[in-house]
Each structure stands twice: as structure tokens, then as C-alpha cells.
Amino acid sequence: MKKTIKLRAKAKNGVVTVKALISHPMETGLRKNKKTGKLIPAHHIQQLVARSGDKTVLQAALGGAVSKNPYLSFRFAGNKGDTVTLSWVDNLGQSDEVTGSVK
């Protein structure tokens, strides 16, 4: 499976800013296929977790109301050289994880 997460993390004055782009269809299950008229099955991220070292810095429950290919930005206390791991799990059991270094 190809990587679905692009991650950048930069530190300034003891604060790390993380920017992430996740490639995911984020289907609600309420949209219809224009050609067939049938509902497109729900397929969306349910759980998103960000860790720095052994500490969880972000935990989020997402749903179908989030747009396709979600962009996420958040901050936490940290320094250059720290690592950030971002992972997600969707309602079909698919998942991805990426680890990046804070610059």
C-alpha cells in the first residue's frame, strides 16, 4: 500500500508546528454514484493519533463530515530533532502511519 500521509514538522521557540495532508476519499455513505444512482459506501477515517516520542500529542475521532484528502495542522511543545508519528484507522480497517523528524 502506498503512503497516504505527507508530514512536515518545524520547531520554533519550543513549539512544534505539524502540517499533514492525508490522501483519503472520506465518503459519507450518503452520496450517490451519478451513473448508477446507487449509494457510495461509507469510507472515512475514524481515529487519528499523533505521538511525539512516547507522548500522545493529538487524538481525534473523525467521521464522514470531513472533506476528501483532509489537511491537518496542530502545535505542541517540542524541539528540533524530536520525532512525530501520525497514524489513522478508517471504518474499513485500513490504516497508515508515518514518522517524521522535527526540523
pLDDT of res. 78: 97
On average, the pLDDT of the chain sits at 96
Q: For the purposes of burial, counting CB atoms within 10 Å of the CB of 101, is it exposed (0-12), middle (13-18) or buried (19 or more)?
A: exposed
pLDDT of res. 2: 79
Burial readout 7-23 (b: 16 or more C-beta within 10 A, e: otherwise): bebebeeeebebebebe
Residue type, 41: P
pLDDT band at 1 (very low <50, low <70, confident <90, very high): low
What are the residue ranges spanned by the domains of the chain? 5-101
Q: What's domain 5-101's superfamily in CATH?
A: Immunoglobulins (2.60.40.10)
Q: Which residues contact 51 (CB under 8 A, 6 or more apart)?
A: 57, 84, 85
pLDDT band at 26 (very low <50, low <70, confident <90, very high): very high
Cross-strand pairs, 60? 48
- Please state the rounded mean pLDDT for residues 71-77: 98
pLDDT band at 64 (very low <50, low <70, confident <90, very high): confident
| Stated pTM of the model | 0.92
